[in-house]
Structure formats: C-alpha cells, structure tokens
Amino acid sequence: MRVILDIESIAHPLTGIGRYTLALARELLKSPLVENVKLLTLTQQLVLETSEELEAYVEKVIPRESAEIQQDTVENNNTSIHIPFWRFIPFWERIPYRQQIPFRDQLISNYNNFKHWRQVRQYRKFVPFKGFFRRGYYLFKDWKYKNIVRNLPKYTFHGPNYHLIPTSNKSVVTIHDLSVLRHPECHPKERTDFWTKEIYDVARRAMQIITVSEFQKQEIIELLDVEADKVNVVYLGVEPKFQPYSDVDCQGVLEKHGLQYKQYSLVVSTIEPRKNFVRLLQAFEKLPKKIRLLYPLAIVGDKGWASDNIHQIISQLVEKKEVIRLGYVDEQDLPKLYAAATVFLYPSIYEGFGLPVLEAMASGTAVLSSNTSSIPEVAGNGCLLVDPYSVDDIAHGWSNLLEDENMRERLSQAGQQQAKLFSWQRCAKQTIDVYDKLQS
C-alpha cells in the first residue's frame, strides 16, 4: 500500500486538525502495513518520506518560544495574542521596551494573516475574475500537485483537512464537521459561500470519506446525501504526554505562566463564536467574586473570527485579575497546563469530535462540556455535560465542580478510563483499513 498524505495543516499555530494530521503522519510512517508514505505540502512544494524529515519540518514550522519571551507575555496579560515571529529577528531581544512598541497589537494581528496573504499573492495572477479567486486558487494547487506526483499513479491520496484536490489517484478525504452548514452564523460569509458549494463536490469526488464520530457520520449522510457505506468513522486519539502530573512536575510551566497548581479553571480553544465564549464568560461572571479570584480562568488560544467583543470582555476580566490570557503556548507546556487545572471548560456549540475534551480527560482533570453534537459520544461518563445555550446551566455546573472535590475526583477517574479507549495507533490502523477498501 502506498499513500500520499497532505500535511498542509501542520503549521503554526497547531490547531486540532493540525494535531490530527501530525499524529496520523507519524503513525503511517511507522506502520508496517504501509509500503511507502509521501507527506506532501504544496505551499512549500515539499515531499517528505521519513520520520526524520517530518520531525525536522515540524521543528521548522512550529517554533518554540524562549522562556524570556514567554515571561514577557505573562507579565503583561493585556497584550495581544503572542505570535513568536520575532524569534527569527537577531536583534529582537536587545530592543528596549519591546512590549510598548507603537501599533504592536496591530503588527501581531497582521502577522497572523501573513502566511495566507503570501499564498494569495502567489495565486492571484492566475485568476482573471475576482469571483473565481478561490476556485482558481485550488485549480492552481491541483496543477502543482500533478506536477509533483505525476509519476505516482499507484498511490492513494488522503486529504485530512476537508479539501480534496481533483486527482486521478484513488482518494480519501477527512471531513471533521459540517458546522459551516449547520451553523453558518459562526463563520465568515466568504467561508460559508465557498464551502456550502465546495463540500458537496468534495464528498462526491472522494472515493471514501473519513469522519471522526458517529454523530458526524449521520450529519454527512443527511446533509451531503452520501451513501452510508462510503462514510467511515475513525475516532481521533490522544498522545501519551497527556496524563496526570504532580505539582512538582508542573512547577516550571506554572511559574512561566503565572499560575498555581489546581488553582485555576482552563479553556483551550480558538476564541470565536462557535466555541461559545460569550456564554462561557457570562457564566464565569455569575460565579461569586471570591471563587473567581481563587480560581481565575486561564485562556489558551488565539484570536479567531468575529471575536472583538469577546476580547473586550476578556480584557475587562484581565484588569480585574480574574482572567489570565496565555495566547498560544508551547506544545510541551500544554499537557501540564491541562493536568494542573482544577477544571477544564469546553461548552462548544457544535463539534465533530472535541479533541481538547479528550486531552483534558486523559490528563486527569475534571471536565465540563456540552451535551450536544459529538461530545456525549466522545466523553461517555467522563465529564459533566451541560446545555451550551444556557448561561445558568454552565455557571451551575462550573460552580459545582469548583466546590465539590469528590465530584472532581470521580470525574477525573472516569475521564482517564474513557480516554484509554482512544489512541493514535488505533486511529492510524482504522485509517489504513479505509485505504484498503480502495485496493480491490
């Protein structure tokens, strides 16, 4: 069996889909069931074929921040989300008062879009009319793809991030969720306009579809009019690094971020409407002030679409010392931030899987999440489920978790047991089983 895996989503900052793609790539490279794996990134026109090449690529595209720069962020939580592009500027650390650079927030915000802008600049000249820009973008990527893999007809192509390049190769696509159809109000109009058309074409062209929960399989069958035997449920996994850690193990990470062991609530998510941040913050403000100060809310995640009002609320709570805004954190810090939290919150409106919920459960932390979409399927009895549309329900569950140590311990044990059902090895094996369907 020979496989081409699109690894475009392995990029900084590493999102849930990026984590999935990276874990799958690592497992495919190790699997004796796959004769040859080629990891393809069209933006940089690279084809990686070994674990060593993959890890070198990851080290390059997902840089680690220095401890000094991290400390700068901790000392001033009113700054914008921290993006470490300056690690490549030789004289950066010698600039005095760099936190007070004029227009610093706007500079960081603009950099978040720089990678996309650079790609747009490359492909714009190939599109004669603005209305056809996105289609032209993917047509050009298709041309690049064919140019790179023209001599690889016997390979199965896997697009792990919704998009499927038109190809003569046997093809598999992973569709993680259909929030763009179910909740278009949670996405930019440009995105919904494109994907409400493109996703049907992708589902039609794919020879097999992978999705990440039974809930999402039914959504695909219903909304995309796909035959059931074409849709395969392959659950995501959790890395061994997500496990309980003692206060001693977590001390260095907690000091770096200005936190105390089991003395904070945690949320890990892109800050955007679909993640239900407004209701989450409203629920937080319903907690007694004494509780909010004793268990401040630590937020790990970058600024997403339509989140200016959310950041205004966050900034007000930061000034009151009730919220600690961490932005994106180093990958090696995240497991200990999960494990050291008192509770983990994830009351998302709609999820295809909910990977942070699984990671938090594996870390032994009590979890509060939504009773909708895929979350009950993934969480089992391992977390407290609430109505994500009810601020009172979120606040009541949150308060109960913070005040009831026995409940937290019970959920901690149940969550760890539930998390053991999921692994990246199992995910890779089931993915290979899908590839096998195309070999006959």
pLDDT score for 219? 97
Other C-beta atoms lying within 10 Å of the C-beta of residue 289: 10
> Rounded distance, CA 368 to CA 397, Å?
7
pLDDT score for 14? 85
Bond preceding residue 13 cis, omega within 30 of 0? yes
400-403 contacts, C-beta under 8 A, 24 or more apart? 401/342, 401/343, 401/366, 401/368, 402/265, 402/287, 402/291, 402/295, 402/342, 402/343, 403/291
Please determine, for residue 142, whether its predicted confidence score (pLDDT) is greater than 90. Answer: no
Sheet of 384-386, strands arranged across: 323-327, 297-300, 265-268, 343-346, 366-370, 384-386
Domain 2-61+116-237+424-437 -> CATH class: alpha beta
pLDDT score for 84? 45
pLDDT tens digit sequence for 63-120: 765 333 333 433 333 333 333 444 444 454 555 555 555 555 455 445 444 444 444 4
Residue 401's closest CA among 390, 389, 391, 409? 409
Task: Report how far apart, in Å, the C-alpha atoms of 317 and of each of 12, 79, 176, 293, 355 are.
Answer: 27, 14, 33, 10, 27
Sheet of 208-211, strands arranged across: 46-48, 36-41, 2-6, 156-159, 170-174, 208-211, 231-233
pLDDT tens digit sequence for 183-231: 998 888 888 888 888 999 999 999 999 999 999 999 999 999 999 999 9
pLDDT tens digit sequence for 256-301: 999 999 999 999 988 888 899 999 999 999 999 999 999 999 999 8
pLDDT score for 140? 63
pLDDT score for 305? 76
Please determine, for residue 304, whether its predicted confidence score (pLDDT) is greater than 80. Answer: no
139-143, 162-166, 244-248: range with lowest mean pLDDT: 139-143
Intrachain domains 2-61+116-237+424-437 and 247-419 with the same fold: yes
Q: Looking at residue 86, what DSSP letter applies?
A: G
| CATH code, residues 247-419 | 3.40.50.2000
The residue extents of the domains of the chain are: 2-61+116-237+424-437, 247-419
Counting beta carbons within 10 angstroms of the beta carbon of residue 361, is it exposed (0 to 12), middle (13 to 18) or buried (19 or more)? buried
